[in-house]
């Protein structure tokens, strides 16, 4: 973890949590953050139904709130969608775009992901752009090429490293209990930094997002080019999420 890149630990709650669940979880994370005052950045991304509630609960704690997706347009006839401007209006600071579950389940292309990232920037949000390969793509030796293509197609041009985050999430390690080896993660994060290149590549925060758990967080978060984590299932448990946060040491 590079000393010039402030670590970020983000919890992606996905489609989980009713009002009472979200209130309790967000409240516990807020309490712990107020008490510990960590130097790292902490973000929670609840489902849209809980955004307003969570924003209110974590107010003043230092915990930031993000959306899990946004539409490319600011408004219009897009039933069921949420614009980046609406997320800002609720008090969000970030939004996840291009998560593998959106790419696969909603057939989102790199171009669609790029347009959503542009929308986030337009509204003043920081997009967390997700990239990653499937098991078949890794087994055939195409992992680096796949991720490179996604980076080149999904990231807007001319954006400073302080306005955008990338999350590397090997698809085969999400929700499966599998985790890439530290060597695999280190190699891919270095590859991503090289693909982005220049000053942007050097300053870009790259999160790891493949089944991060308290048991593997310390090893993964200690890697030079890993600047934090995008946490899935473990973010639904305050103890597990906080253990991951506590594993993130800013050198």
Question: Over 90: is that where the pLDDT of 174 sits?
Answer: no
249 pLDDT exceeds 80? no
Across the chain, where does the E strand assignment appear?
Answer: 8-12, 41-45, 64-67, 94-97, 126-131, 165-168, 205-208, 228-231
On the question of pLDDT at 2 being above 90, the answer is: no
Please pick, among 71, 169, 189, 191, the residue that the annotation labels catalytic. Answer: 169
Measured distance CA(126)–CA(233) in Å, rounded: 22
Per-residue pLDDT tens over the stretch 135-157: 999 999 999 999 999 999 999 99
Mean pLDDT, rounded, of the chain: 95
Average pLDDT over residues 118-123: 98
Residue with tokens 């915990």: 63
For 70, 74, 116, 120, 227, the CA distances from 84, given in Å and listed in that order, are 5, 7, 8, 5, 25
Q: Which of 54-68, 92-106, 164-178 has the lowest mean pLDDT?
A: 164-178
Q: Identify whether 99 is a catalytic site residue.
A: yes
* Residue 177 pLDDT exceeds 80: no
CB 117 within 8 A of CB 155: yes
Q: What structural domains does the chain harbor?
A: 8-54+65-247 (3.20.20.70)
Digit-coded pLDDT (tens) for 12-22: 999 999 999 99
Contact by Cβ (8 Å): 112, 133: no
Q: Is 219 a catalytic residue?
A: no
pLDDT at 251: 45
Reported pTM: 0.96
Residue of 229, 226, 196, 227 lying closest to 211 (CA atoms): 229
Task: Retrieve residue 54's tokens.
Answer: 């969570």
pLDDT tens track for 209-248: 988 999 999 999 999 999 999 999 999 999 999 999 999 8
Query: What is the rounded distance in angstroms from the CA atom of residue 251 to the CA atom of residue 245?
Result: 14
Least Cα distance to 230 among 215, 218, 241, 219 occurs for 241
pLDDT digits (tens, 9 = 90+) for 179-218: 789 999 999 999 999 999 988 999 999 999 988 999 999 9
> What per-residue confidence (pLDDT) applies to 175?
74
> Please, what is the angle between helix 19-36 and helix 238-247, to 10°?
30
pLDDT level of residue 48 (50, 70, 90 thresholds) = very high
């Amino acid at each position: 973890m590079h000393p010039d890149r402030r670590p970020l630990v983000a919890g992606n709650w996905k489609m989980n949590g009713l009002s009472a669940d979200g209130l309790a979880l967000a409240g516990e994370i807020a309490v712990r953050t107020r008490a510990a005052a960590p130097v790292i950045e902490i973000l929670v991304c609840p489902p849209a139904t809980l955004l307003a509630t969570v924003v209110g609960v974590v107010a003043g704690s230092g915990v930031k709130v993000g959306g899990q997706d946004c539409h490319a347009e600011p408004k219009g006839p897009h039933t069921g969608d949420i614009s980046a401007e609406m997320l800002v209006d609720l008090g969000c600071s970030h939004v996840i775009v291009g998560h593998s579950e959106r790419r696969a389940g909603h057939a989102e292309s790199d171009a669609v992901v790029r347009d959503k990232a542009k929308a986030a920037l337009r509204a003043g949000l920081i997009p967390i752009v997700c990239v990653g390969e499937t098991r078949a793509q890794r087994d055939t030796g195409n992992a680096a090429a796949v991720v490179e293509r996604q980076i080149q197609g999904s990231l807007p041009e001319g954006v400073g490293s302080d306005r955008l985050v990338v999350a590397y999430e090997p698809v085969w390690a999400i929700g499966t209990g599998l985790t890439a080896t530290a060597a695999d993660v280190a190699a891919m994060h270095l590859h991503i930094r090289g693909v982005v290149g220049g000053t942007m590549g050097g300053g870009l925060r790259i999160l790891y997002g493949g089944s991060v758990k308290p048991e593997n967080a310390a090893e993964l978060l200690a890697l030079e080019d890993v600047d934090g984590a995008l946490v899935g299932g473990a973010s639904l448990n305050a103890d597990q999420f906080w253990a991951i946060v506590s594993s993130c040491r800013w050198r």
